[in-house]
Amino acid sequence: VIDNYVIVDCRYPYEYEGGHIEGAQNIYTKSDILDRFMKSDEFTSKAVDSNKKNVIIFHCEFSSERGPKMCRYLRESDRKENADQYPRLTYPEIYILEGGYKAFYEHESSQCTPQTYKPMLHADHSQDLKHFRAKTKSMNGSRCNRRRMLRC
């Protein structure tokens, strides 16, 4: 009963370009999350009007920091947007991929494009890492419990 799903890759662009899950969207800033899911009519109207589930799956390299933070941020934004209609949510089905891209790649590399894995701490991208960390420095939050796919 799933109408639509989106895989949100919260890794930095050089990691994403070094290999990602087919069809995943590279969204790694809070403002981009808001633009894509709270301000865009494309996905929001589907989420509101459909009786079927619209699923969003977040992940980062290990799904232990960036992915869970972005998942929580969307959940908090969704709660604020729907505060007058509690407990209604525009996106009730959001999850975190257990183990992140690294674990997915180890088991399902044929579903990745290109079929490679570039870690965040790759030696060739130390300057990129500094740049993107500075850009996303304002992100904060606590960790979610780990399971196969975790609900935020």
> Where in the sequence numbering do the catalytic residues fall?
60
Alpha carbon distance 116, 125 (integer Å):
16
Helices (H), the chain: 13-17, 30-33, 41-49, 66-81, 100-108, 126-135
The tokens for 149 are 């796919």
Q: Which of 70, 137, 79 is nearest to 100 (CA)?
A: 70
Alpha carbon distance 91, 124 (integer Å):
37
Alpha carbon distance 97, 149 (integer Å):
5
90 to each of 28, 85, 110, how far by Cα in Å?
20, 11, 32
Alpha carbon distance 73, 152 (integer Å):
10
